Amino acid sequence: MVRKNKKANKANIISIANQKGGEGKTSISLFLSEALSEKDKVLLVDWDAQANATRFFFNSVKKNIFDCLGYRGAKTIPTSDVILKITDNLDLLPSSIALANFTTPFGVEDFSLLKDCLIQVQEEYSYILIDCSPSLGLGLENALIASDFVLVPIQTRAFSVQGIGDLYSTVDKIKKKANPSLFLLGAVFNQYEETRSLTGLAQGVKKYFPVFDTFIPRREGIPQAQVKRKMLKDCDDKIRKPFYQLANEVRERIDVQKK
């Protein structure tokens, strides 16, 4: 189910990536894509075999992103046949456990299978957000090759800086070897608690990435909303506001970069 992006430009494709588990990739992908969809046409891509973003909306899906890839010579179906409508301005490209098979590259073409999938629908949207899995492997490399931008959710706690250097090296490698226009949009601090100082963590992260001005606070309502499948528009202001602010900052940072 695809309707035209009125601007008729190609979508800005953003990987939401961090190889550490539980940093907030899926939560930010879900609510940021909904916030962006208030003004723009958005496709949320579930690029994780855990299929957490898909399960937020559906108990099960008939077709999933793995059917579009053509991995190891499998028959492909068009991306638009797999896309599901969520709201007028928000669509989902769902995942399933089948994506767990996508681990080993057999040829150079296996690094751009996601890109080939998304190119088919890139003119239909203003933003495409890719909710990545917690890994540095073939899945992440595909996402980075398909993307214009990377946004890195980082949980606000002591050891979150560990591993950031590895993520930076992967982004840098893809930029040099396969996708020179890839741009690191920045890190978004998640689960921020007012009582805790961010200075040390922010300094550690800033060695590698710019840091967004918007922080996402820790709110119990966020996991609760996910259990109840409550969309951002139905959450209270304390949850909604930071995600709308983040959506505005994402728009601004992308506009500055494209000038």
The contact set with ligand ATP (CB under 6 A) reads 21-27, 48, 50, 52, 134, 190-191, 216, 218-219, 222-223, 226
Partner whose binding site includes residue 219, from Mg ion, ligand ATP, none (CB under 5 to 8 Å by kind): ligand ATP
Buried b (16+ CB within 10 A) or exposed e, 38-70: eebbbbbbbbbbbbbbbbbbeeebebbbbbbbb
27 phi and psi angles, rounded to 5 deg: -60, -45
Least CB distance from residue 227 to ligand ATP, whole Å? Answer: 8
Cα separations in angstroms, 216 against 54, 72, 91: 22, 40, 24
Q: Which is nearer to Mg ion, 30 or 211 (CB)?
A: 30
Cα separations in angstroms, 125 against 9, 119, 249, 250: 8, 11, 19, 16
Distance (Å, whole) CA 156 – CA 202:
9
Q: Does 27 bind Mg ion (CB under 5 A)?
A: no
Q: Which is nearer to ligand ATP, 23 or 148 (CB)?
A: 23
Work out which of 26, 64, 89, 122 binds Mg ion, going by CB under 5 A. 26
Place of tokens 């053509």: 70
Least CB distance from residue 145 to ligand ATP, whole Å? Answer: 20
Least CB distance from residue 176 to ligand ATP, whole Å? Answer: 26
Least CB distance from residue 106 to ligand ATP, whole Å? Answer: 26
Q: Which is nearer to ligand ATP, 89 or 160 (CB)?
A: 160
Give, in degrees to the nearest 5, the angle at Cα 36 between 214 and 31: 65
Residue 16: which H helix or E strand, with range? strand 12-16
* Region of 48-56, 57-65, 72-80, 139-147 interacting with Mg ion (CB under 5 A): 48-56
Q: Which residues bind Mg ion (CB under 5 A)?
A: 25-26, 52
